[in-house]
Amino acid sequence: MQIIDGKAVSAAVRDRIKAEVLELKSKGKQTGLAVIIVGEDPASKVYVSNKKKGCEQVGINSFEYALPEETTTEELLTLIGELNNDDKVDGILCQLPLPKHIDEQTVINSIVPEKDVDAFHPTNTGHIMIGDYSFLPCTPAGIIEMLNFYNIEISGKECVVIGRSNIVGKPMAMLLLQNSGTVTVCHSKTADLSDVTKRADILVSAVGKANFVTAEMVKDGAVVIDVGMNRNAEGKLCGDVDFEAVKDKCSFITPVPGGVGPMTITMLLNNTLTASKNRIK
Ligand code: GUN
């Protein structure tokens, strides 16, 4: 069994991004990311702080907008409208989830597709569907990058994704399909889940429940990718996969922390660099 080291892959990709950001700077083009957070969700605060740190590391300017919980949809749309027209801003990221009274899809739709570094706008999701895109959603893109880094073949493999969210499950399935995997998407209504997961050569779990994926659900020699970010009973950060039980059964596995998480932020930085380069053109 080999542990997929998301930090090491991240470091390699970030070095390349840093060099490119610096080169743009030497030509007079600075790269900037606006990060919006609404409310006090503790997990979101950690993610946003890590995104800002990532920007700093590669020389991207970050502009944080921390708005109070009671912010209205209209106020948020006004801010995004300003950022859409701000030349210092190449990418706009609005951390999800938003407070319940704000209409999330309206907010996503208001970011111009050229600055939508999350690739959540329907225009960008449509581009991904037909395989012609500038930005890929960060988490699935980071997973493909890690698989490539470890020379893990996707073509012809049975790929099973657990979870069908717009952020991870659906775009993950699409990217695996584009890489010629045979893809099955499972979700809460799937009958006999472990019957399906046991077929997987590559198993991606994006469920959000600690110890959801047990050893019985995993085929011998499978590649296991854990997108979960959960707290266990002791309050420790953990993924969806029962790591200790599954690790000896698989060929590769991503740990939590240190697997998918760092790659997600790295791909955000990469999308911001792409947005910056596209705006020069
Ligand atoms: N919340 C959880 N994951 C993400 C992400 O990739 N982007 C944004 N904007 N919010 C998130």
Does ligand 1 lie within 6 Å of residue 104's CB atom?
no
CA distance 146 to 127: 22
C-alpha of residue 96 to centroid of ligand 1, in Å: 5
Q: Of all atoms in ligand 1, which is nearest to the CA of residue 268?
A: 6
67, 36 contact by CB (below 8 A): yes
Does ligand 1 lie within 6 Å of residue 116's CB atom?
no
Q: Which of 36, 38, 118 to mutate to test the pocket of ligand 1 (most atoms within 8 A of CB)?
A: 118
H/E stretch holding 168: none
Q: How confident is the model at residue 153 (pLDDT cuts 50, 70, 90)?
A: very high
Q: Where in the chain is the domain with CATH 3.40.50.10860?
A: 28-112
Per-residue pLDDT, averaged over 77-97, amounts to 98
Is 134 or 96 the better-scoring residue by pLDDT? 96
Name the amino acid, one letter, at 219.
Answer: K
C-alpha of residue 205 to centroid of ligand 1, in Å: 16
Does ligand 1 lie within 6 Å of residue 167's CB atom?
yes
C-alpha of residue 37 to centroid of ligand 1, in Å: 11
Q: Which of 50, 95, 98 to mutate to test the pocket of ligand 1 (most atoms within 8 A of CB)?
A: 95
Q: Where in the chain is the domain with CATH 3.40.50.720?
A: 138-261
By the 10 Å C-beta count (0-12 exposed, 13-18 middle, 19+ buried), 7 is classed as middle
Per-residue pLDDT for 148 more than 90?
A: yes
Q: What is the chain's mean pLDDT, rounded?
A: 97
Give catalytic residues, as residue numbers: 51, 95, 118
Per-residue pLDDT, averaged over 31-57, amounts to 97
CA 187 from centre of chain: 19
Which candidate, 264, 278, 233, places its Cα nearest to that of 136? 264
Nearest CA to ligand 1 atom 3: 96
Q: How confident is the model at residue 194 (pLDDT cuts 50, 70, 90)?
A: very high
Fold for 138-261, please state it. Rossmann fold (3.40.50)
Q: Would you state the pLDDT for residue 280?
A: 87
Per-residue pLDDT, averaged over 118-136, amounts to 95
Does ligand 1 lie within 6 Å of residue 98's CB atom?
no
Query: Does this model's pTM top 0.75?
Result: yes
Per-residue pLDDT, averaged over 68-81, amounts to 98
Q: Would you state the pLDDT for residue 121?
A: 98
Which candidate, 103, 139, 102, places its Cα nearest to that of 119? 139
CA distance 26 to 126: 34
Does ligand 1 lie within 6 Å of residue 271's CB atom?
no
C-alpha of residue 43 to centroid of ligand 1, in Å: 11
131, 180 contact by CB (below 8 A): no
Q: Would you state the pLDDT for residue 281?
A: 78
Does ligand 1 lie within 6 Å of residue 138's CB atom?
yes
Per-residue pLDDT for 72 more than 90?
A: yes
Fold for 28-112, please state it. Rossmann fold (3.40.50)
Q: Would you state the pLDDT for residue 196?
A: 98
Per-residue pLDDT, averaged over 37-58, amounts to 96
Does ligand 1 lie within 6 Å of residue 177's CB atom?
no
